[in-house]
Structure 1
Amino acid sequence: MDYKHGNNIVSKISASQLIPENLLLYDIENTPHIYQVEIDPIDYCNHNCEWCFTADFRHDKKIPLTYLKNYLTTFCNSGGKSVVFSGGGEPLLYKEIYFASSEFDNKSVCKFLIENEISVGIITNGHLLSNLFDSDFSITDLAFVRVSLDATNEISHSKLHDTNKISYSKIINNIKTLMKLRSNQFTPAIGISFVVDSINNINFSKSQIEDINKLACNLNVDFVQFKHIHTFEKERAIESMKILHSYCVEMNWNETEFWVQTYTSANSSLQCLITQYIQSIGNQSKKFPCCHLFGRSEFLKQEEFLPKGKIISNCDSIVCRYSEMNKMLLNNFEENIMNHKEKLKTSIKKFGFHPYRYCPTAPDILEPFKS
């Protein structure tokens, strides 16, 4: 099911990775099972971002294809809906995502998933995007592509990502080519994201947001996502994102959606029910409850590398995009779920693919007023 508005689309494809409340579209009030898996297929990375917390968990490993095929086959057969390839490392260094292999019946992993009616999203630094342009599936078969850009010029990008200065122009050209290949189709949704560090004034000043606005409008991408770095200064991060949001509201974004994600932490005193529906895999072929607990294998049994969900306790993650959704599940489950679900469906039907700019319902995305 696709939800369209203007030249944009973010369908239920994006699931909780982009918009947590989209989990409601999967009828999660029925028998819980894993609907979405986020896959970190490889530990290598061709960038070295200064804030990357997963760098401490890298062991120069990749998920063996036989393990991945077994996991994804079970996932497809048990009602899975959405797969997101991300990092950890740079997912497009795992070439089997877009190149055929014998383990996946002479198909790429993406082709295998698409043929099984699984929505596929890719989160990448954009350096290797061109490898998707000549694969065994069409670019328009993908659900979304989000490029972690984090800068609006070569010098800043080179410093923040620890790459050479020509990388930035290559990535921008890859985004332009991706937009051209999509042409007048509605998928994939194409977006760019920016890490915010209010303490060190990275992507936080008004002039920097104006530069991001200009770049997004020139590229004509579908969405721009702002997320604060992990920090123990929670209150400062919360207030900083409100300030950033106020800057965004003042600007004209044309057809581009802007999403300013609030900074929320896990509540260790509460059980997490979300982990019945989502899962992350990677890092030496292990399972994790979600991307925020990447590298923390103690929460799930590792004997079988299969998509089995589990309610977890004592989560101590300093950031959690699912905390408000989890409260919804814990308190007055049926009433909260149905109310939010109907609001979401009504908004989608009235406004198009994603209502948060016009009639926001998501609890953890600040209201992106219509420009």
Structure 2
Amino acid sequence: MSELYIGLMSGTSMDGVDGVLADFSAAPLRVLADASAPLPDALRTELMALNTSGPDELHRGWLAGNALMRIYADVVQQLLSQAGVAATVVDAIGAHGQTVRHRPQQFDGTGYTIQLAQPALLAELTHIDVVADFRSRDVAAGGQGAPLAPFFHQALFGRPGKTVGVLNLGGISNLTLLHASGAMQGFDCGPGNALMDAWCQQHTGQPYDAGGAWAASGRVIEPLLAALLAEPYFRLDPPKSTGRDLFNRPWLDAQLAAFAGSAPADVQATLAELTARACAADARRLAPALRDVIVCGGGALNTHLMQRLQALLPGTRVASSAAHGLPPLQVEAAAFAWLARKAVRRENLDLQSTTGAQGARVLGAIYPR
């Protein structure tokens, strides 16, 4: 085995596909290449629409999955070309797919989580084994199905005897707490960039608030912030996970109804503060000894958001994962390369302390080349 794995991630922000080619022959890993591709507007619109029930959604979902896999395959080819590596020496691709519904433990006690992907098509297009459907086994075992990256965070960022936090600021924010005792927790804090991006797109025509400059120009609307933070999800204890099923535009619009006429920049500042306060509150409550927070995901590039996190966590160093050896836009893709390797090697992951699953399970289904 060459110990080369590809990880592909398209997250809740739905802004594009990130990929890495990782070499695991030297612990914990070495990234040989990274690449990304944007989602075409039509596909992004369709994926957004598939977050809620609609006509002919089975047909539409399957075709959207096909289209997404073709973009995944293009990213794979970019990675192979960059590294000068043949497909035949890559052990497997870890393909996350696009989450469009996330309702674990609901309805019948088991619930479901749906990541649109057509891994058989991806294997056909790339001639590489594909590992996909990582979350459903965890849900079947009574877990939340998310987050799945904490063990990877532990391997990459853990420090014996020290409490470390790893905060992923994607569309949804999730926090891994690596306690000095060796205990580990991982859970979703709430919205990350999803609401900010949607508001920015509506009012500026830009897909995101570059550097958080627009949010920084506004003033936090404290009564609106209090209304947003009154959402019961924020008071839940881990394990917990969420997504666009809850934190979406209808949820935001319902809260904004009482604040008609607010300046758009002030709403943006309030949404940034919502993300920062929700994450900081969980960190302070569950890990009072926390001294380092390592931030990854697109939110790590939001200067204003990073400054707010630092201000809300005095005595804790808040820094991008780039300062700890891996750029923020590579971390989640690398995690799925790592998870693919675990699946290929049939290694169990015990996520009881993060997702609440009943025990250790092998996560992921393998589609041979």
Which structure has greater strand proportion?
Answer: 2
